Chains A and B, each alone.
Chain A
Amino acid sequence: MKTTKKKKCLELLFLFAAIFILTPTLKAQEIIVTGRVTAASTGKTLPGVNITLKNAVGGTATGLNGEFKIKVPDENTVLVFSFIGFKTKEIKVGNQRYLEVQLLDNIDSLSELVVVGYGTKRRSEVTSAISSISAEDIGKQTTTNISQAMQGRIAGVNITQNSGAPGSGISVNVRGMGTIGNSSPLYVIDGIPGGNINSINPQNVKSIEILKDASAAAIYGANGANGVVLITTKGGRIGEAQINFGITYGVQQLSNKMDMLNAEQYARMQNEARAASGLETYWDDPSSLGEGTDWQDALARNAAVQKYNMSVSGGTESLQYFVSGGYYDQEGVLIGSGFDRASIRINADYQISDIVKIGNRLSLARTNQASIPEDYPFASDNRIVGALQMSPTVPVYRNGSFAGPRGDFEGNSQGPNPVGLATINTVSNEVSNVLNRSYIEINPIQNLMIKSELGIDYTDGDYKEFNPTYDWGITSNSIAQLYRGRSKSFGWTSQTTITYQNTYKQAHDFNLLAGFSVSESRYESIDASAQGFINENVTVLSAASQINSLSEYIEEQAMVGYFGRLNYSYKNKYLVTANIRMDGSSKFGSENRYGIFPSFSVGWRISEEEFLSDLDFLTDLKLRASWGQAGNSQIGNYNYATRLNLSQYYVFGNEQDIVPGVAPISVPNIDVRWETTTQTNIGLDLAMFEDRINFTADYYIKNTTDMLIPVPIPGSSGIAEAPYQNAGKVLNKGLELSLSYQNTIGDFYYNVGGNFATVKNKVLDLGSGLPIPSPILYRESVRLTRTEEGRSIGEFYGYKTNGLFQNQEDINNHASQPGAEPGDIRFVDINNDGMISDADRTYLGSPIPDFQFGFNASASYKNFDISLLISGVYGNKLMNTMGYRLLNGSFIGNKMAAVLNRWTGPGTSNEMPRLTWNDPNNNARISDRYVEDGSYMRLKTIQIGYNLSSDLLEKVGARSVRIYASGRNLFTLTNYSGLDPELGKVNNNNLNNGIDMGNYPVPRSFFLGLNIGF
C-alpha cells in the first residue's frame, strides 16, 4: 500500500465527486389518479401528505383540502402515503382512479426508517442499539441547540449543560465515560462526520439517531468508540410550496439564588473572624449597615429570548427543496452575556434521470456569543463568584458611576464591582460557518447504488475581549487591555459507497455495502493581546500603545478509511449484520497508523415465529445481540514526533532584547496508537397491543483498552507535557430501559414514556498503576479529583471530616492536628498514624450518577395538546467549590448565610466551624464539607398548544396555525445547595467532572409562540 508516487490525489477525487451525468427523463404512461386523504381518528382532511410511487420515481403531496392528483405508470403501481404522526399506507392503484385514503395515527414504529451509518434501515430490521429522536420531539422544545433537544429523551445518553450561559458548551456522554480523555461522541451531519452542531438550527432537523453500541458505531471505525450522533436535516417534499413561519418570544430569569449574608451580618461575621485571630475589628457599628446590596440581584436581569423561523419547502417529482432562514437571539440572565444565531439552510434533491440523482445540503450560519468569565474556580475573576463574594456594604453605584470598595476591609482583594465589570468588559466570540454536503447517487442497474459525497466545513472565528480602564473606590484598572483572536478552519471529506441489495427466493435478503472515505482538515489561528488605548472607543489593535503578544498556530489532520457491511435476513425473522472498517490517521506514526474495527450483530424476531402466532397482542418481539470494536483517536496531533518549541524566550542586553530559545517540550511516543473500545450488547424490543406499548431493554459491557492517557512522567525528565501513551483500561457497563404507552380514546390521544439507565464505571488499569490527579484548577494549587485503578473516573479526593472540636479535651484526644482550636473541624485520621497530614486524604464520592432517568408525556384533545419532559439523575456527588471561599473566615468577602450557624462555644454547632481570620487549622482545605448529593429531578420542558380548527383556517387562509405557551426548567427538585445541580465538566475534561466553580445557572424560561403554515 505504500508508494512514493507524487500524484495530485485530491483533484482526482473531486473529479469523481463532480461527475454530472444527464440522461433523458423517464417518460411515464398516462394514468391519472385523484383522491383525498383524511385522518382515520378524526376524519379531518390532511394537507401535505407525501405520496410517492413504490419502487419508481415520482410523487406528489395533498393540497390544503387534503386532495391530490398524481400520474402513475401503470395499474400495478403502488402508491405510498406517508405523513408525520401517521402510519404509512400503501395502496395498489389497480382499476381505481379515485382514492379515499384514511391514515391511521402512527402507533407503528416498526416500519419507521432509522438512519444508520451510510444508509437507512427499518426499525424492525435493526440489530444494534440505536435510539432516535424525531422532528416532532425536537420541535416541541424551545431549545437553543440540538444537544439540549436530546436531553432526557434517550436511555444511556447523558447530556449536561456545562453552563447555563447562552450559547455555552454541553457535555454529551454515550454509555458512560469510556476514557479519561475526550469522550464526546462523533457527530455526523447529513451523512458526513464533523461540523459545528452549534450552528444548526434545531427547527431544521428531521431526525437525530444515536448509535450506542459498537456494532452500530463500528462503521465509523476510528472515531466511533464514544458513540455516534447522526443528524439528518429536513429535505423537501413533493407538492406545492408550503410556507411555515414561526415566532417565539420568551423571558428568562434566574432560577435560584444562594442565601448570602446581608451587610449587617457580614460586618458582624467579619469582626468575629478577626477578633478570633487577635486582630482589630473593622466595623464599629455593624447594625447601622442594614441590608446592603444583594449582588446576585444586581447582576441578574429578566432576559428576553426571541426566535424567528421561516421555511419554504416543496417540489416536483424530480426536484424537491427545503429552504429555511432562522434568527435566534437570547439575552443572558446575567448582565454581559448573550447569544444570537442567524442561519440559512438550502436543501435540494434532484432526480436527473432514472439512474442519477444529485442533492445538496447547505447551511450558512453565524453565531455570536457574549460571555462573562465563569471558568475560574475559587476566584473573583469568575463573575458569579465575584458577585457572591462582593461585600454587601458596597453599593452598586455611587456618584453616578459604579461604586467600589473604599478600603481593604470592604474587600479590595475579592475584586472590583462585578456588575461594573460585567457591564464595561466585553467578550464576544463570533463564529461564521459554512457546512455543505453534496451527493450524487447512481443506480446503474437495479439493486445497485453508488453514492459519492463531498462534505465541506468552513469556520471562521472572531474573538474580541476588551477590558477598559476604570476607577471605582480603591479598585481600578489603569490600562485597558485587548485580546483578539482570529481563526479559520477548513475541512473536507470525500466518501463513496456502493450498495447492493437483493432478495433470493423471497426469503434471503442481502444488503452489501463497501466504501471508502478521505478527510483532511486544517485549523489556523492568530491571537494577539495589546494594552493602552488613548481613546477607548477605538479598540482596534493598531490603536493600542503596546502589543503584548502575537502568535500564530496551525494544526492539520487527515484520515483515510475503508469499510464494508453485510446485512442478511432470512424471512425477516433472523437478522445478521457484520461490519468492518480500516482507518488510517495522521495522528499516529507510520508503524501504527492503521486500525481495524470489526463488529457483528444478530437479531431474532421471535414474534414472526409460528409458535407465537397465536399471541395476537404481540406486535413485535425481537432479541438482539452484538459485539464490536471501535476506536478513539481524540488526542493532539503529532504526538509521535520530537517537536521543538520555538518560543522559549529569554532576554539579553541592556536594551533587554527578547531572544528566541528552542527546546523540546515533550518526549515523543513513537508507539502511540488507537484507543479501542470493545462492546457487547444484548437487547430486547417488544411491542404489544398494536404498538400501543413499546419496550426496549439493553445491557452492555463496554471495555476500553489501550486507553490514551498522558501517563504522568517524573518532573526530573524536564518535560512539562506528558506524552499520550496507550496505557489504560476502563470498563463501563449498564442497563438501559425505555417504555412507552400510547392510546386514543375518541378525540383524546395520549402517550407516556420513560427511560432509565444505569452506568457503572470502573478504571481497571492506568499503566503505571499510579493514580492520576486532576489538573490544577486555576490559582489555588488544589486538585479536586483523583482517578485510581479499581475506582471510577474522577472521584473527589480530600479530607474526611468528623464534626467539630467542642473543647480542648476533644483536641487532645484526637490525632495531632496542628493549629486546631475548639470550634475547628476535626479531620479524620484515615491512616491512623496519629497525625493529620496529606496522607489522610481519601475518596469522597463519584460525580457519576447511579442512574439517570427521563419521563415524557403528551396528550391532545381536539385542538389542544400538551407535552412535558422531566429528566434527572440520582446518586452522584458534586463538589461545591464555592464553599471554599464562601464558608471560611480566612477569605475576605461575603459569606453564605449558613455561617450564621457557626460554632460560637461548646455545643453550639457540630457542623459549621468557628469563623477565624487566619484559619490556623486550615478548615478551608478540600474536604467532604464541599461534597454534596447531586441528585435532581427537573421539569425540563412543558408546552401547551392550540391548533386552529379547519373552518377557522379557511377564514384566515392558512394551512395551519398553532399557538403555544411553554416553559423550560420551571421546577427542580434537589438537595444541592449551589445555584444549579446540572453541572458538566470543567474544560470538557473528564477528570474535572461535577465541579461547581460558580457556574452560570441554567435559567428558568417562559415562552409564547406562534406557528403559521400556508
Chain B
Amino acid sequence: MTRPPGPPAAVETIVEAWLEDGAEHVTLTARGHPPWSWGPSSGDGTPLTTSALTVLVEGDLPAARIAHDTKLLVEILDLAESAAEARHRLATVMRFEVPADVDVATTLQSTVDQLADVLAVARVTINVETEVGPRTATSAAPVVDPDRSQEATATRALPLNRGAGTLSIVGGDAINPEILDALARRAASAIDLSITYEESIATVRLQNEYELAERVQSRMLPRRSVPQLTGFEIFAESRPARLVGGDFCDFQGGTGRPTFFSVGDVSGKGLPAAILMSMTMATLTNKVEYLPEPTPEAIIARANEDMYSHFTDVGMFATAVVGKLDPEASSVSLANGGHSPVVYKASGMPPELIAPEGTPLGVLDETFAKDRTLRLATGDVLVVASDGLNEQRDSQGEMFGYHRLLATVEALADQPARLIAIGLFSAVRAFAGGAEQDDDQTVLVVRGVPRTTPSFQAELDADLEALRGLPKLLDEAIARHPGRRAISDDIRTGLELAIHEVLTNIVVHGYADTRGSITLRFGGDTSEIVIDIEDQARAFDPLEAPMPDLDAPQVHGYGMFLVRELMDTTEYGRRGQTNHLRLIKHL
C-alpha cells in the first residue's frame, strides 16, 4: 500500500503560517485528493468553498487572509495537478516501447497489444494502407471487463510517412487526448520503420531470387539450336512474361539417337520453378539418351518417377509434351502429360485440338500419358503451344481461347514454321490490346516439307588424293543445280572449302586411314543448295569438334569452325552404319 500523496510543500508552508498566526485547525479538501488536516478540530468552523478547493479554518484568523491565501492555494494545487498530469502522461507514453521488429505484421501486433495494455482498454485496432499492401492488427485479449461499452471511444489518424493508417480504441475510460496523440506518433514511427525494412528486404530478396533463377536457367538451358531434319521444318520460341518463366522448350537426342522435342511448363515462378524446370529438362534429356527404347510415353513415365518426390516436396508440378520426330516415316509420335492440347493440322483438313491423355509430372506416381502417332508429311503442321497463348486476356478479361488459336493456325498453315509461330504471338498480342502478357508464351511448330531430290550425286574414295578432284566435281554439281544462277564465285569457294574440310575430317578421323567411300549428294532449289555427305566410317560427328578461340590461335580446330561459318545450316545424324552430314547454303 502506498500512502496517499500529501499536500504540495507550498501548501504546507501556507497552512503552517496560518497555524502560527492563530488558526487552530485546518482542513483542505482538494478535488481528486483525500482531505488534508492540521491541528485538533473543535467542529465550529465555516468552510470556504471554491470550485477546486474547500477550506475549513477554525480559530482566530482573519477571513480576508483566508480568502486571499485560498486563491494562492488553488493556484498552487493547479500547478501541482498539471505537473502530476504531465508526469503521468510521460510515464504512460514511455510504457509503450517502440517495437524493434522488422516486419510490418509483427510490429502492428506488438503495437496494438502494448497500447491495449498501456491504455487499459478493451481493444485496440490499427489499419494501415502501405506500399507493401493493406494490413490490420487487433489487440489480443481484452484487459478490462466485457460489460464496458464496445463503442469506439477514440480514433486517431496515424501520422505515417509511408502510407495511411488509423488507430481505434474501443472500451475503457476516457483517455487524455494528448496521451493518445503522443502514442499515435510513437506507433506511427515504429510502423514506418517496419515498412521501410520490409520493402527493402523484399526488394533485395526479389532481386537475388531473380538473379539466381536467371543464372540457374542460363547455366542449365542447353544452347542447342533447333534440329534440322530431312522433311521437317522446325521453329521454336519462348517469350517469358516476367524475368524468369516456367515454360521450357528443348530438343534432345540427335547424334546417333532419334530426335525428340519437349515443351512444358513448371507451375510457379522464380527460383524454385527455375530449378525444377532445369531438373525436369535434364531428366527428360537423360531419359532420351539412356532409355534402351525411348518413346515419348516411356520418357514421361520414367521422368515422372524420378521427379515425383522433388515436385511433391515443394508442392509444384510440370506439364510436358514430349515428341519423337521420325524423318524416315514422316511422322511424329507424342505423349502429353497435362499440357495444353496440341494443334494438329493435316494437309487439306481443318486444324484439330488433341487433348492431353496424361496428368502432369509430379502430381501422381503415374501419368497415364500415351503415345500417339501423327503423320507429318508435306503440308501437315503440328503446333505445341503453352497455355500462355490461349489464356491471354484482353482488357475486358476475355481469353484468347482455343477457337482463335485454331483459326490462326488455319490461316497460317501454308507459311514457313517461323511465320506460323510469329503469327501466333502477334495474334495473341493484338488480341490482348494494351493488356500485359499474363504468362509465358511458348510455341513449337513442326511442318512437313518436301524432301529434297538430289540433282547430282558422286562417290569418292576415302583418300586425301581423291579430294583433289573436288573442284571439278563441284563445278559439275553447280552446273546441274536449279539455283546455279545464284551461286556466285564467293559461294562456290565457300562450298568448296566447307566440303573439303568435312571430307578431310571423314578421311583422317572417321576412316582413319582405312579404306572406304564417301557419297556426296547435291540437292535443293533456287533458294538453297543442300549437300548430303554420307560415309560408313565409325560413328563420328565432325560438328562436335571444339570451336577455336579466335583471339588465341591454336593449331587445330579451324576446320569445323570454317564449315559452320561458311554454311547456313550444318546437321549430323547416324543412321544404322551410316554417318550423315547435311550442309545447307542459302542462295
* A and B co-occur in one complex: no
